[in-house]
Amino acid sequence: MEIKVTLAQTNRTRPQDSALGFGNVFTDHMFVMDYSKDNGWHDARIEPYADFSVPPSAMVFHYGQAIFEGLKAYKTPDKKICLFRAKDNFERMNRSAKGLCIPQIDVDFVMDAMKKLIKLEEKWIPETLGTSLYIRPTIIATDPFLGVRASYTYKFFIILSSVGAYYADGLNPVKIWVEKEHVRAIRGGMGEFKTAANYAASLFASEEAKKNGYDQVLWLDGIERKYIEEVGAMNIFLLIGDELVTPILNGSILPGITRYSVISLAKKWGMNISERKISVEEVFKAHEDGKLTEIFGSGTAAVISPVGEIRYGDKVISIGDGTPGETAMKFYNALTDIQYGKAEDTENWLEVIG
């Protein structure tokens, strides 16, 4: 399929790297294509970033048939544009699509379209270490219809956002709130798919946690509310004695690409890494026994986010000494060194696109 390009008539400039936050500066262009039963994915185009015209009856607004991805392009010190495991994102998008009855995309085609868009928007990629171009591929259901069924038409789009360093002043450990009542997802539901609805489901508890002075929610499993699943929109790792534990994928946990990367590095470094069920009681017991030395989250936005405090009902425990743990830092440095081309890419995760 050919990609039609319409250039924007604008000379906007990128804000200074130090003024960038997360997800509020968008670039000049976007990639869009449409799907219909008769034509499949068609009308692929790069066009000026602008409002869409979608009818109020579009199914996405009523029944939430929407999926997305989140990945980044990085500028290395020698000005190369790099992607980190990008194909994994689009393969995951196809798994999410299947789960929500959305048609599959051609991974190689959308990868090419994305690269073309990124190269066109090169001036929007910030260059300071820790900054990046955040990439948001999304698919929404567009049938103008109020009956309940999977839509027959869809819109796929990729928008780009210049983002600042997640940690402007170092990796500060976050405080997390173990959520006892609300759940994010359940096995058999949509937890393993990257869909808008999972975020809607997380808001109430996140707001409650914030009101109580906590940064993120630690989600427990939706059935017994006993086993740890994720932290905020990140996967979670715990260092207990010499064992690095992450919850095993059970259908309600999002299979993070950063999670896979941490597991691979841990194996490579000869660490004792396990993917298994871990209950919140076990975590508190490990703390009591003096064995719980670190907890950290993993995800594309923050890479690694150390946890400094957990609250579960009226029990509060501190992890570490208020500074990021050694293991969290080791993973953070190893991953960012690969992403910014500062270390040899021994795992073949990086793709230089320009």
Ligand X SMILES: *Cc1c(COP(=O)(O)O)cnc(C)c1O
Residues near ligand X, by CB under 6 A: 70, 194, 198, 230, 233-235, 254, 256-259, 298-300
- Which residue lies nearer to ligand X by CB, 198 or 206? 198
Give min distance, CB of 12 to ligand X, in A: 28
Which one, of 266, 31, 248, 41, lies nearest residue 154 by Cα? Answer: 41
φ, ψ of residue 222 in degrees (nearest 5): -80, -10
Give min distance, CB of 268 to ligand X, in A: 18
Give min distance, CB of 218 to ligand X, in A: 12
Q: How many CB atoms neighbour CB 168 within 10 A?
A: 11
Which one, of 183, 132, 142, 152, lies nearest residue 58 by Cα? Answer: 142
Give min distance, CB of 248 to ligand X, in A: 15
Q: How far is CA 276 from CA 106, 285, 319, 325, in A?
A: 33, 17, 21, 22
Give min distance, CB of 27 to ligand X, in A: 20
- Which residue lies nearer to ligand X by CB, 29 or 92? 92
Give min distance, CB of 256 to ligand X, in A: 3
- Which residue lies nearer to ligand X by CB, 153 or 258? 258
Closest residue to ligand X using C-beta atoms: 256
- Which residue lies nearer to ligand X by CB, 143 or 229? 229
Give the alpha-carbon dihedral of 147, 150, 152, 155, to 10 degrees: 110
Q: Distance between CA atoms of 345 and 228, rounded to whole angstroms? A: 32
Q: How far is CA 351 from CA 131, 170, 302, 324, in A?
A: 18, 27, 20, 29
- Which residue lies nearer to ligand X by CB, 81 or 233? 233
φ, ψ of residue 288 in degrees (nearest 5): -60, -40
Give min distance, CB of 153 to ligand X, in A: 25
Give min distance, CB of 154 to ligand X, in A: 20
- Which residue lies nearer to ligand X by CB, 44 or 137? 137
Specify the long-range contacts of residues 84-89, CB closer than 8 Å, at least 24 apart: 84/338, 84/339, 84/349, 84/350, 84/351, 85/257, 85/261, 85/349, 86/111, 86/114, 86/351, 87/111, 88/257, 88/260, 89/137, 89/257
- Which residue lies nearer to ligand X by CB, 153 or 216? 216
- Which residue lies nearer to ligand X by CB, 28 or 179? 179
